[in-house]
Structure 1
């Protein structure tokens, strides 16, 4: 079974109570992010993937969630690490039209519908916090 690490950016627009989400071409919704490449840290991956998907430059903060899944049909054992993040530069635009069909600010109830694998809802990520430490 192949191990796949995925890093996501949880970007919350506090004044509107909305979360930035991407609609992947397969029809699934997620936070911006993607697979960690060989030799890349989790933080480097989430910064790169967010830029590649949305055109945004982000500042990465603490870990908000860690999810795990086994996809037997693909032969993947996936670890999903979600970081809180803030936009520091850029304008939202789809960078890879083959991968992303839509980038939208979504309210929390709708985000909960689209991402049911957070059992206490995505709003629980607002309260969740764990330090991320890269031990070089």
Structure 2
């Protein structure tokens, strides 16, 4: 079992609040996020962008391993994930993540590749998470 962590800090509330996200690895350290980075075009990150990065990375790695198991050792995969946030029922919902893949795998049959890609899409852990039940444990200080 592997556990990875990230932290988010938010100072102030609502549109005027400012946040910072950091990851266990240090790849992100106090990366700015807030209303303007999420709903407008201010520089910084946002949760949907991070989910898109995770989904693109997870799917691409899953497909890479599937191709290796099928005997392929050369090629390239490049995936874009577009995560859509919509307002619904008085709140916001991530309604979809669209994966767009460009691949080069010498010698593979188009149908075999399509099957492997579909399996990777269905079985990568982030794809599964996007349809998971979410629970909350909290402590108020």
The alignment's TM-score, normalised by the length of structure 2, stands at: 0.23
Q: Which protein, 1 or 2, shows the higher relative CO under an 8 Å CA cutoff with sep ≥ 6?
A: 1
The alignment's TM-score, normalised by the length of structure 1, stands at: 0.24
Higher strand share: 1
State the structure with more CA Rg: 2
Higher helix share: 2
